[in-house]
Amino acid sequence: MKIFIYHTPELTPIDIVPECAIAVDVLRATSTMATVLAAGGEAVQVFSDLDQLMTVSEQWPSEKRLRAGERGGAKVAGFELGNSPLDCTAELVAGRRLFISTTNGTRALKRIQNAPIVLAAALINRASVVKFLLEKQPETVWIVGSGWEGSYSLEDTVCAGAIAHSIWQQTNCSLTEISGNDEVIGAIALYSQWQNDLLGLLHQASHGQRLLGLECLEDLKYCSQIDTLDILPIQQEPGVLKSQNK
């Protein structure tokens, strides 16, 4: 297995696809998606465009859908949910499809949606993603950070590093054998440095500071946990992710 890390959707190649592509948006889109599916959501359907989200979700029975999204961190007017995983309780989401559009995470998923296998990863479901990769053994894996409007984000890179670090530790491969680009070495080093204080790292991150400004400390705490949800969001059709085995 060769792992490649791309820090943003914009840095991700467009003319080829890997066997498996993984979108990461620790703050907060993929953390929210994993939470919704773990709480019994039927599926998560992602949109980069709000008008398209409205058009498609209108065709879904109202009692079976939830609209979620943020712009500038704030909930989109008229939507039931913003982008906080803490709002995605089982009472609210069970059996319903989440139609979601966020600033960065949904763009990353759209960018990789043509790969044969597409996953959504966050720190909270890192172990489930790693387990799948070790069982499936895809030849090439891309881990794509969502970043922030085209620029680097610390929290997505540390999560990519956490995935690569775990694969490296659980195989007999050398670092050179698993790393497809230099970003993998850098991400593993970042994770190794901060693995015992991931919340501290999120406090340092510009996105973490933005969310703290929006009074979202509890979101930071939740998203900084590692391996807490046994859930694998996997794409079933372009833009639609379900829990594996559903």
Ligand X SMILES: O=C(O)[C@H](CS(=O)(=O)O)OP(=O)(O)O
Please identify which residue in 7, 67, 97, 207 interacts with ligand X, judged by CB under 6 A. 207
User: Cis (ω within 30 of 0) for the bond into 28?
Assistant: yes
Whether 28 and 150 have beta carbons less than 8 Å apart is answered as no
- In the stretch 129-168, what mask flags binding to ligand X with x, by CB under 6 A? -----------------x----------------------
Nearer to ligand X, 167 or 219 (CB): 219
DSSP-derived secondary structure letter, 60? S
- Does residue 43 sit in helix, strand or coil? strand
Please identify which residue in 83, 125, 166, 224 interacts with ligand X, judged by CB under 6 A. 83
Nearer to ligand X, 28 or 242 (CB): 28
For residue 102, the partner it binds in Mg ion, ligand X, none, with Cβ less than 5 to 8 A by kind, is ligand X
27 binding Mg ion? (CB under 5 A):
yes
Which residue shows structure tokens 């499936």?
Answer: 136
Residues in contact with ligand X, counted by CB under 6 A, come to a total of 16
Question: What's the token pair of residue 120?
Answer: 């959504």
Please identify which residue in 104, 113, 166, 243 interacts with Mg ion, judged by CB under 5 A. 104
Nearer to Mg ion, 42 or 155 (CB): 155
Tell me how far apart the alpha carbons of residues 132 and 182 are, in angstroms, rounded to a whole number: 24
Q: Which stretch binds ligand X (CB under 6 A): 25-33, 43-51, 123-131, 228-236?
A: 25-33
Q: Please count the residues of the chain.
A: 246
Nearest to 32 by CA among 211, 229, 172: 229
Whether 145 and 107 have beta carbons less than 8 Å apart is answered as no
Whether 28 and 221 have beta carbons less than 8 Å apart is answered as no
Which residues are at the interface with ligand X (CB under 6 A)? Answer: 25, 27-29, 70, 72-73, 83, 102-105, 146, 207, 210-211
